[in-house]
Chain A
């Protein structure tokens, strides 16, 4: 039985126009990511990774093509409708954690549930369960400055899951961590996909995380290339040669 498609890009193009100058950040991209799948998107700076992430994250609309998240075509929605998509369907994990410094780990997770009207004891129980799932049991009352980088990112992952989204988008989730912590975070993200049934799409420069991905995509000049099966794509000492094909 085939798995459900959670994120689908259907011939998506994004063109930035400044005066007479047009730049194709994404060029007729098509992509389907299934539930429980972990996809890592890599590529050089300026390749369009952030554009991809912001379109997948319902923060920006494509110039053409369709973006479908959990069966909802978000490319036809207006600006006012997109926050609801982000609340319900998408969880974000950021490079610099972006936790609220004045809130405890628990409050950072609870806060997100307020967007859906979940407050009080129900929110607290769910937040505690999520923090426990990402290995932060017993650390819930610490504010971010009392947590290590790895712990902060775990809290950020718990926060991303607060509203039970189908899709988790991670922007350079290991960039601010040492290799051990970076690997641990990717393992947590993999657990999120495999055990909690979420779809994880991570944009990264970090070659070390490739081996934890189900699929590795190389984004350059606005187009994707699946490099999962190329030598080095699954780890090892050398990165894949993006120019090989």
Chain B
């Protein structure tokens, strides 16, 4: 950094600090939103990805876990088990529904599964019972945290009281969470004695999922089958597609705010120092050298803002979910690098107007006449 850059920045400490703070805020917003995006993106697909099944079978028209408007007959499980390449078919009942916990009505994704096989059940046991019995429920830790309920409490669902007997993790879809009951409880609650929502298929070793899927879609009327990864991706897209446009708008705003703050501060400083730039031109400094000065000021301001903003993001992502459970964040170093690149672009854009201003400064203006 040249002597003049340092002096120009430090001669107006308040302006410099405002500029650095503005950039830091902008960087914080960008990095934090990215970490939220990553956190949600990873979180919402995780449950489906980790279910111990190779293929999900649903009624035609149902393509993801959240849009669980599928109903399949119970005897279909037997037929699916006979398809070439299928080792076993496990029924699950999934129903998005409102439950009442601690006097509040809350949306949840009720999952009825067979506790004996465990397929379709909780991913990671956290506390209490590992499997639910009759009229018992295992809630996701995020659900408990958000709604202030835990083991020993009861929740009301479909006119029945379910006792919370355990907590698990891995079923947080940000705007809703899974809660697990036994298949029998789910049938009783929902009156689905002869119906299931999905079948989860485990394939024989060496069996190709594509062939199994093709076979099911050919032999079973109005039925769709999906590889686990495909089903997880569709589930992820259902949430993220609606979130991404909002994220993009806020990210763009944060970028514009960053550019505007830096640009205005440096432009003001350039206008105030127009005479000094005229003197520098008169005594032989080239436009190129002066552009470098402005660019250095912009880059230094932005980099300091980046360090502050990135530091703030690292701290915030570590603790924010303790205060706001919906803020599921994942901060990757690749994303921080991307934000660093964005900040550098900001600094270059912010320097454009000041550089144009300098180019127009007439060195003759420094003479008395």
Can you list 14 A-B contacts (CB < 8 A)? A50-B367, A59-B364, A83-B284, A94-B367, A94-B368, A95-B368, A100-B279, A102-B7, A103-B3, A103-B7, A107-B7, A115-B283, A171-B369, A172-B368
A90 to B283, CA, bound (A): 8
User: What interface size band does chain B fall in?
Assistant: 20 to 34
A87 is an interface residue with CB less than 8 A from chain B = yes
- Asked whether B11 lies within 8 Å of A94 as measured between CB atoms, the reply is no
Q: Nearest-CB distance from A55 to chain B (Å)? A: 10
Give B1-60 interface residues, CB cut-off 8 Å to A: 2-4, 7-8, 10-11
- Asked whether B281 lies within 8 Å of A53 as measured between CB atoms, the reply is no
Chain B contacts for A100, CB-based, 8 A: 4, 7, 276, 279
Give A81-112 interface residues, CB cut-off 8 Å to B: 83-88, 90-92, 94-96, 98, 100-103, 107, 110-112
Tell me the B residues contacting A by CB distance below 8 Å. 2-4, 7-8, 10-11, 275-276, 279, 281-286, 289, 363-364, 366-369
Give A124-166 interface residues, CB cut-off 8 Å to B: 159, 163
Q: Nearest-CB distance from A149 to chain B (Å)? A: 15
- Asked whether B368 lies within 8 Å of A171 as measured between CB atoms, the reply is yes
List the A residue with the shortest CB-CB distance to B286: A83
- Asked whether A86 lies within 8 Å of B282 as measured between CB atoms, the reply is yes
- Asked whether B284 lies within 8 Å of A115 as measured between CB atoms, the reply is yes
Give A163-199 interface residues, CB cut-off 8 Å to B: 163, 171-172, 175
Give A45-65 interface residues, CB cut-off 8 Å to B: 45, 49-50, 53-54, 57, 59-60
- Asked whether A102 lies within 8 Å of B283 as measured between CB atoms, the reply is no
Chain A contacts for B366, CB-based, 8 A: 94, 98
Total residues of chain A contacting the partner, CB 8 A: 36
A114 is an interface residue with CB less than 8 A from chain B = yes
Chain B contacts for A163, CB-based, 8 A: 284
Q: Say yes or no: A92-B368 contact (C-beta < 8 A), given A59-B363, A102-B7, A103-B3.
A: no
List the B residue with the shortest CB-CB distance to A103: B7
List the B residue with the shortest CB-CB distance to A107: B3
Q: Say yes or no: A49-B3 contact (C-beta < 8 A), given A59-B282, A83-B285, A86-B283.
A: no
A13 to B356, CA, bound (A): 31
- Asked whether A50 lies within 8 Å of B369 as measured between CB atoms, the reply is yes
Question: Which one, A53, A54, A84, A101, contacts B284 given CB within 8 A?
Answer: A84
- Asked whether B7 lies within 8 Å of A57 as measured between CB atoms, the reply is no
Chain B contacts for A60, CB-based, 8 A: 364
A238 to B148, CA, bound (A): 98
- Asked whether B279 lies within 8 Å of A98 as measured between CB atoms, the reply is yes
List the B residue with the shortest CB-CB distance to A45: B369
Question: Which one, A92, A171, A172, contacts B283 given CB within 8 A?
Answer: A92
Q: Say yes or no: A57-B282 contact (C-beta < 8 A), given A49-B369, A94-B368.
A: yes
A94 to B275, CA, bound (A): 12
A10 to B317, CA, bound (A): 73
Most-contacted residue by chain A among B7, B275, B284, B368 (CB, 10 A) = B284
Chain A contacts for B7, CB-based, 8 A: 100, 102-103, 107
